[in-house]
């Protein structure tokens, strides 16, 4: 069941089966609306295969990123098939073997792949029961299944005796209903992750652990900055170093191949000192991100509009405006990006921790000038990525170096400095919110404007954003025009879940940003929810209302109200307890994407008087993710999301010098540690009869805002620009002083 087979499948064999056929079938047969990813990959044997020896193989196009998806999907399949969990072997994201499910991103895996597997497994079981009924001469309703053994009276036959080569090679009808949730054995239980033992015992688990015979170690010498071009390089000294096999130069792409990894590291260092670069791009100065975003060219689009929020301002009892921002945030994976590639007989195999093996394959084909069918891209676990980090770029580096040494596998492992300097950062954003409240303290109008670059520049067939390809072609790696990229999710969660009256929500999509950016966990949701939920707190305080009660007054969705009420009870919320004591609680709520998991958070912080250092002491969350597949997996995702968001909120910002990234190691980009990470408590609200909802990105927005609101409760200082670093509080927090308020507009304004 463990995925130990990436070594044994290291040949360049490209297996094709029904994946290629369904497109032809669809051309003749108009597609029906099949559930989940069955819509794109309808053949049952693309998802499930049973061999004569009794092994059940389950295929998914989704990748294990440390979120436990492999285990959750195995639970779903085991339940619908009626086989033991141990009988299932999972095969994940591999363009040679699995369905194309795009990226493993956006908290969609349970909804898309999980739904496909639920229906495919239910139909597979029904087909096999039909065959068993014929074989045993008993009606299907009288048959019982236990771990693939079908029994009736004394007669027995197994799935693997019944299944033939073509049995499951048929289109799913989507018409076999999955089981009643009450009858599920594995779903809803805290099943242990399948991949953990190997990781605890130091067995091969990660792409970093992949060792192929004859493998060379490659290191890329990156330019000093985004705008730099390689003018010249003296290679002689590098080539004389021990173990050096080759120096590779293509445009501004410069790298060295060596027998040993440490030799490659030393050689890249030598080569770097012998390379001459020209050109640079000016980078934003600290503290001026919001101004930069508003000055750059942008296109405006209306996310949501109802009435004219400006018109009610004059009639309002209270009218308030405030501006917020979040900086560039690094994915900052603990393991730098890594990949292995080999080209043999014109066939390419690339092992990668990319979130999207199919889109990466197509982008690589473009860079290499090959038809995609010549490439097989296989996902192997990497360190947690939290979005689009350097994984795809490392795969491109390995492919470019494999091309320079046909027949030899090449492994590329980025340095820590390169990971911090070249990963695409989670984009900075700026927000301006205004609201008017009526005499009863209810929201009468709401305005929300955001400025952001597009939030996702993942590589695909249409556009390669791969770093190595861009350096090889000497093309800029930053500043893509937004029109062609859409919002990339910058507007995610920009519509508040509250009753707003008249409202207008506008996104300004910024172009020509001089910084390389792409998807970070939650996309725009983290910044939007931070701004909205901070602002809700400001509105409550400005009108003398409890922030928790104020939210409930504006919420109609019962499930939203339940998570808020639950977290209030769990955390012992005692009403608005604003003080300047240095300790405080804050609450925040969001439903991720306004359509996925509901999450309400209460954070407790203490702020050190002298230094202004914020410490998140504890936090509580209440979570409704519909039907829970694996409660411990869900808990782990929410806990991790809360701790990571604490780090984003109080510690993290990418730093720049005039033309370089200056935060290129862990001292320049500190994150929360074991001593500063909060203890978190989570209450899950299971709803077995509701669809499962994505949860991996549900906690970050509420956590960030809950911390900001708690800091206000603790100090009376409203910090509207992240991170809430000591510098933002120092000098502003005066004990027992009057709390700061958002800019309150007099009616005559």
Partner 1 sequence: MSVTLTVNRKRIRLELDPATPLLYVLRNDLALNGPKFGCGMGQCGACTVLVDWQPVLSCVIPVSDVSEHEVITLEGLGTREAPHPLQLAFIEEQAMQCGYCVNGVLLTAASLLHTNPEPSEVEIRRALSDRLCRCGAHGRMVRAVQRAAAEQRPSRVAKR
Residue ranges in contact with partner 1 by CB under 8 A: 65-68, 190, 192-193, 195-197, 199-206, 208-209, 211, 242, 260-262, 265, 332-336, 381-384, 386, 413, 415-416, 632-633, 636-637, 639-644, 647, 665-667, 671-675, 677, 679-680
Between β-strands 149-152 and 155-158, what pairing exists: parallel, antiparallel or unpaired? antiparallel
CA distance 619 to 642: 8
Q: How far is the CB of 158 from partner 1 (least distance, A)?
A: 29
**CA 705 → CA 177, 654, 669, 724, 725, distances in Å?**
41, 20, 22, 11, 14
Helices 700-715, 631-650: inter-axial angle, 10-degree rounding: 50
Nearer to partner 1, 140 or 677 (CB): 677
CA distance 649 to 389: 20
Q: How far is the CB of 617 from partner 1 (least distance, A)?
A: 13
Nearer to partner 1, 217 or 434 (CB): 217
Nearer to partner 1, 156 or 204 (CB): 204
CA distance 554 to 739: 25
Q: How far is the CB of 93 from partner 1 (least distance, A)?
A: 15
Nearer to partner 1, 546 or 639 (CB): 639
Q: How far is the CB of 396 from partner 1 (least distance, A)?
A: 20
Nearer to partner 1, 345 or 675 (CB): 675
Q: How far is the CB of 674 from partner 1 (least distance, A)?
A: 4
Q: How far is the CB of 383 from partner 1 (least distance, A)?
A: 4
Q: How far is the CB of 536 from partner 1 (least distance, A)?
A: 25
Q: What is the DSSP letter of 176?
A: S
CB atoms < 10 A from the CB of 513, how many?
21
How far from chain centre, in Å, is Cα 413?
A: 22
Q: How far is the CB of 676 from partner 1 (least distance, A)?
A: 9
Q: What is the DSSP letter of 329?
A: B
Residues present in the chain in total = 749
CA distance 58 to 223: 43
Nearer to partner 1, 320 or 332 (CB): 332
CA dihedral angle for residue 58, residue 95, residue 43, residue 122, rounded to 10 degrees: 20
Nearer to partner 1, 596 or 643 (CB): 643
Strand order in the sheet with 347-352: 244-250, 253-258, 216-221, 410-413, 338-344, 347-352, 375-379
Q: How far is the CB of 84 from partner 1 (least distance, A)?
A: 19
Nearer to partner 1, 40 or 639 (CB): 639
| Partners of residue 431 on adjacent β-strands | 324, 450
* Structure tokens, 136: 């045993």
> H or E stretch including 571?
helix 558-571
Nearer to partner 1, 150 or 707 (CB): 707
Nearer to partner 1, 152 or 647 (CB): 647
* Structure tokens, 296: 């750059």
Q: How far is the CB of 335 from partner 1 (least distance, A)?
A: 4
* Structure tokens, 2: 């463990």
Which residues, including other chains, have CB under 8 Å from residue 203's CB and lie 6 or more apart? 4, 197
Question: What does residue 298 show for φ and ψ, rounded to 5 degrees?
Answer: -150, 160
């Amino acid at each position: 069941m463990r995925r130990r087979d990436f070594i044994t499948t290291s040949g360049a064999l490209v297996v094709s089966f029904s994946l290629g056929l369904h497109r032809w079938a669809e051309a003749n047969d108009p597609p029906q609306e099949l559930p989940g990813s069955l819509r794109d990959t309808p053949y049952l044997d693309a998802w499930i295969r049973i061999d004569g020896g009794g092994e059940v193989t389950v295929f998914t196009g989704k990748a294990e990123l440390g979120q436990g998806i492999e285990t959750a999907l195995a639970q779903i399949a085991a339940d619908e098939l009626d086989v033991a969990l141990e009988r299932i072997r999972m095969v994940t994201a591999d363009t040679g073997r699995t369905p194309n499910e795009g990226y493993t991103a956006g908290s969609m895996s349970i909804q898309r792949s999980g739904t496909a597997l639920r229906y495919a497994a239910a139909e597979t079981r029904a087909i096999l029961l039909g065959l068993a009924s014929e074989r045993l001469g008993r009606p299907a309703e009288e048959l019982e299944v236990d771990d693939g053994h079908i029994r009736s009276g004394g007669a027995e036959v197994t799935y693997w005796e019944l299944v033939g080569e073509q049995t499951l090679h048929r289109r799913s009808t989507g018409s076999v209903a999955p089981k009643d949730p009450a009858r599920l054995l594995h779903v809803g239980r805290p099943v242990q992750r399948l991949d953990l033992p190997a990781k605890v015992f130091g067995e091969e688990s990660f792409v970093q652990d992949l060792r192929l015979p004859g493998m060379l170690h490659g290191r890329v010498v990156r330019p000093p900055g985004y705008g730099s071009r390689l003018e010249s390089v003296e290679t002689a000294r590098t080539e004389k170093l021990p173990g050096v096999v080759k120096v590779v130069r293509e445009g501004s792409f410069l790298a060295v191949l060596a027998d040993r990894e440490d030799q490659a590291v030393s050689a890249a260092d030598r080569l770097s000192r012998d390379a001459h670069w020209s050109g640079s791009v000016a980078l934003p100065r600290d503290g001026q991100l919001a101004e930069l975003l508003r000055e750059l060219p942008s296109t405006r689009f209306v996310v949501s509009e109802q009435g004219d929020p400006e018109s009610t301002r004059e009639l309002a009892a209270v009218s308030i405006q405030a501006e917020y921002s979040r900086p560039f945030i690094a994915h900052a994976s603990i393991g730098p990006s890594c990949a292995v590639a080999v080209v043999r007989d014109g066939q390419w195999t690339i092992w990668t921790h990319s979130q999207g093996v199919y889109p990466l394959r197509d982008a690589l084909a473009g860079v290499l000038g090959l038809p995609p069918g010549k490439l097989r891209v296989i996902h192997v676990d990497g360190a947690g990525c939290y979005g689009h980090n350097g994984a795809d770029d490392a795969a491109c580096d390995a492919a470019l170096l494999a091309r320079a040494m046909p027949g030899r596998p090449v492994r590329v492992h980025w340095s820590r400095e390169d990971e911090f300097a070249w990963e695409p950062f989670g984009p900075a954003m700026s927000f301006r919110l205004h609201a008017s409240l009526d005499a009863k303290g209810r929201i009468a109008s709401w305005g929300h404007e955001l400025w952001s670059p597009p939030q996702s520049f993942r590589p695909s067939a249409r556009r390669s954003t791969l770093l190595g390809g861009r350096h090889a072609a000497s093309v800029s790696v930053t500043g893509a025009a937004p029109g062609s990229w859409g919002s990339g999710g910058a507007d995610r969660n920009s519509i508040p879940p509250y009753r707003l009256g008249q409202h207008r929500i506008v996104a300004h999509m910024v172009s020509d940003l001089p910084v390389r950016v792409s998807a970070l966990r939650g996309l725009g949701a983290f910044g939007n929810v931070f701004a909205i939920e901070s602002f809700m707190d400001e509105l409550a305080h400005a009108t003398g209302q409890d922030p928790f009660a104020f939210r409930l007054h504006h919420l109609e969705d019962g499930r939203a109200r339940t998570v808020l009420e639950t977290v209030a009870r769990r955390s012992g919320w005692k009403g608005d307890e604003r003080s300047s004591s240095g300790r405080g609680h804050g609450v925040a709520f969001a439903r991720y994407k306004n359509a996925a998991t509901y999450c309400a958070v209460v954070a407790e912080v203490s702020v050190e008087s002298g230094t202004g250092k914020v410490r998140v002491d504890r936090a509580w969350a209440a979570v409704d993710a519909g039907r829970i597949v694996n409660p411990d997996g869900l808990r782990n995702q929410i806990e991790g999301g809360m701790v990571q968001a604490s780090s984003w909120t109080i510690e993290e910002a990418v730093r720049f010098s005039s033309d370089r990234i200056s935060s290129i190691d862990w001292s320049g980009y500190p994150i929360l540690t074991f001593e500063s990470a909060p203890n978190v408590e989570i209450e899950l609200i299971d709803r077995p009869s509701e669809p499962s909802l994505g949860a991996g990105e549900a906690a970050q927005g509420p956590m960030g805002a809950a911390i900001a609101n708690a800091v206000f409760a603790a100090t009376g200082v409203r910090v509207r620009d992240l991170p809430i670093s000591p510098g933002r509080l120092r000098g502003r927090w005066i004990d027992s002083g009057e709390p700061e308020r958002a800019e309150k507009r007099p009616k005559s304004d």
